[in-house]
Amino acid sequence: MNNYLLSADVGFGLLAFFSIVWISYGFYLGRKANDLDGFMLAGRNVGLALGSATAMATWVTSNTIMLAPKFALQLGVWGMVAYSTASFGLFLFAPMAKRIHQLIPKGYTSGDFIRVRYGNFTWILFLIISMVYSMAWLVSMGMAGGIVLEALSGIDYQIGMSVILISCVVYTIFGGLYAVIGTDFIQSIIILIGVVTIGVVVLNQTDVSSIYQKIEFERPELLKVFMPVALISLFNNMFFGFGEVFHNNVWWSRAYAMRESVAKKAFGLSGLLWLPIPIAAGFIGILAIATDVNIVDPDMTGPLVAASILGETGAIFIFVIVFCSLASSIDSLLAATSDLLTEDVYKKLINPSVTNETLRKFNVYIILGLGAVTWVFCFARLSGLIQVLFLSGPLVASLIFPIVCGLYWKNLNKKIINVAILSGSLVGLWCYFNLGWFTASLASAAVSFAITMISAKISPDTINWEEFKRI
């Protein structure tokens, strides 16, 4: 492909402009991040506006913009709807965030909760699953960034990917969670306005009835109500989303960072803000059929269609939206995953007597190291790594019920909980390879649910909720 939708100059200009904006804004916000609570949790007093925006922007990943159009083109109307069910993860996490605040007022990570609730074995199991998932997510986003930038403007993959990663690492180091949440707000406004603008301009140039007729003629299956794979994936996607949100420290650290009175509302609102985005983006994917845009690489469905209808302006919009959605998730993952490594691995496993000042410094090195490891993986550009993200679906889904029941129920047998997580993961992986990806997370959650219920009945261990106050 030699004809790019944007000239490399425009591409570099946009890349440089936004990198400088994020880094300087992060630097500015970083003045607040003096102590450990400031750096890791933005002072634990984040309000409703910033709280909802950061949760929503983090959940808008490169996949929401890139995968939703592909999903709609593959699975039709149900595909669009199935993707948006991931917003339920945020809805149900809203009441959980409130509970987390009450139970563990001084917590830092999701690992804190698992360790105190279930003991070391479950905690290590949890850390492994969480790290596999987080790294796969981080690497897939870095790779997606490089690929999209190259496809749109011809900027070399390695350069585009490196600039995105480095700018996120730099502002996260300067400003900690303050910088992450502050930039997330601007990024979410850009994403929301961008999605609406593209949708409105596209609708101005076409009309829904002619789109509908064309699809009805060309690919009627996509409009069917009984679309088996899409219907099965409906709950599967939802439970993948539950697994991702309920376990990952990205969300727990947000819950700790928000003011107690705000946490529940903020997550609920972020779900509402997120819900329509995959549908609006998915609609662009379905347009490929109506506008006869030939899709050679399905992963590029969204950008290709938008740019072919809207020309260079459309390509600029896509470029900026993708950059914002990537940055808003990469920064969050860097911050939250480095917190997990700092708190759970370094402080709890290696050096328990460490002071908060040292820990604050150590956290910076961890962010740097995490960025470097991600960069190496992205540089190698192993396409199989994207697969790892989907494979982690059943792994994280096996954690849903152990986490939720652990938050609310006093009596659970700790050993049987380990069985729930392990067998849920294994059955889910088996289903992934033997029945199809669209069954894996649901199967894992179902097995883990059944065994978690058993663990509540067979000689359960009792937890004293006061233990969490000592964290």
In angstroms, give the least distance from the CB of 298 to other proteins. Answer: 5
In angstroms, give the least distance from the CB of 224 to other proteins. Answer: 6
For 411, phi and psi rounded to 5 degrees? -110, 110
Distance CA 25, CA 310 (A): 31
Mask for 85-124, x = binds other proteins (CB under 8 A) = ---x---x--xx-xx--x----------------------
Q: Hey, which residues between 27 and 46 contact other proteins (CB under 8 A)?
A: 32, 42-43, 45-46
Residues 6+ apart with CB under 8 A from 287: 202, 206, 211, 293, 305, 309
Structural tokens at position 165: 């990663």
Among 20, 34, 128, 297, binds other proteins (CB under 8 A): 297
DSSP, collapsed to helix, strand or coil, labels residue 42 as helix
Applying CB under 8 A, the site for other proteins has a residue count of: 92
Q: Hey, which residues between 68 and 87 contact other proteins (CB under 8 A)?
A: 73-77, 80-81
Q: Hey, which residues between 440 and 469 contact other proteins (CB under 8 A)?
A: 442, 445-446, 449
Q: Which residue, 362 or 401, is less far from other proteins as judged by CB? A: 401
Q: For residues 167 and 334, is the Cβ–Cβ distance under 8 A?
A: no
Q: Hey, which residues between 256 and 295 contact other proteins (CB under 8 A)?
A: 259, 269, 272-273, 275-277, 279-280, 283, 294-295
Q: Hey, which residues between 419 and 438 contact other proteins (CB under 8 A)?
A: 435-436, 438
User: Which residue, 270, 239, 210, is CA-closest to 399?
Assistant: 239
CA triplet 435, 436, 440: central angle to 5 degrees? 90
In angstroms, give the least distance from the CB of 347 to other proteins. Answer: 25
Distance CA 283, CA 288 (A): 9
Q: For residues 465 and 101, is the Cβ–Cβ distance under 8 A?
A: no
Quick one: which segment of 231-239, 344-352, 361-369, 387-395 binds other proteins (CB under 8 A)?
231-239
In angstroms, give the least distance from the CB of 280 to other proteins. Answer: 4
Quick one: which segment of 15-23, 155-163, 232-240, 248-256 binds other proteins (CB under 8 A)?
232-240
In angstroms, give the least distance from the CB of 119 to other proteins. Answer: 21
In angstroms, give the least distance from the CB of 370 to other proteins. Answer: 25
Distance CA 265, CA 37 (A): 22
Q: Which residue, 18 or 185, is less far from other proteins as judged by CB? A: 185
| Buried/exposed 130-150: b ≥16 CB within 10 Å, e otherwise | bebbbbbbbbbbbbbbbbbbb
Q: Which residue, 26 or 371, is less far from other proteins as judged by CB? A: 26
Question: What is the distance, to the nearest Å, from the Cα of residue 300 to the centroid of all Cα atoms in its chain?
Answer: 19
Q: Which residue, 201 or 364, is less far from other proteins as judged by CB? A: 201
Among 2, 205, 221, 464, binds other proteins (CB under 8 A): 221
Distance CA 166, CA 110 (A): 26
Distance CA 320, CA 313 (A): 11
Distance CA 277, CA 256 (A): 26
Quick one: which segment of 52-60, 122-130, 157-165, 167-175 binds other proteins (CB under 8 A)?
52-60
Q: For residues 129 and 347, is the Cβ–Cβ distance under 8 A?
A: no
Mask for 388-407, x = binds other proteins (CB under 8 A) = ------------xx--xx-x
Q: Hey, which residues between 327 and 386 contact other proteins (CB under 8 A)?
A: none
Instruction: For residue 336, count CB atoms less than 10 angstroms from its CB and return exposed for 0-12, middle for 13-18, buried for 19 or more.
Output: buried
For 55, phi and psi rounded to 5 degrees? -65, -45
Q: Which residue, 229 or 306, is less far from other proteins as judged by CB? A: 229
Q: Which residue, 10 or 258, is less far from other proteins as judged by CB? A: 258
Among 204, 225, 462, 466, binds other proteins (CB under 8 A): 225
214: contact with other proteins by CB under 8 A? no
Q: Hey, which residues between 163 and 202 contact other proteins (CB under 8 A)?
A: 178, 185, 188-189, 192-193, 195-196, 199-200
Q: Which residue, 11 or 406, is less far from other proteins as judged by CB? A: 406
Among 59, 83, 137, 235, binds other proteins (CB under 8 A): 235
Distance CA 284, CA 287 (A): 5
Q: For residues 182 and 25, is the Cβ–Cβ distance under 8 A?
A: yes
Among 82, 147, 222, 307, binds other proteins (CB under 8 A): 222
User: Which residue, 120, 122, 103, is CA-closest to 465?
Assistant: 103
In angstroms, give the least distance from the CB of 103 to other proteins. Answer: 8
Q: Which residue, 44 or 348, is less far from other proteins as judged by CB? A: 44
- AA letter at 294: N
48: contact with other proteins by CB under 8 A? yes
Residue whose entry in the numeric block shows the structure tokens 């399905």: 298
Q: Which residue, 152 or 269, is less far from other proteins as judged by CB? A: 269
DSSP, collapsed to helix, strand or coil, labels residue 445 as helix
CA triplet 111, 117, 106: central angle to 5 degrees? 60
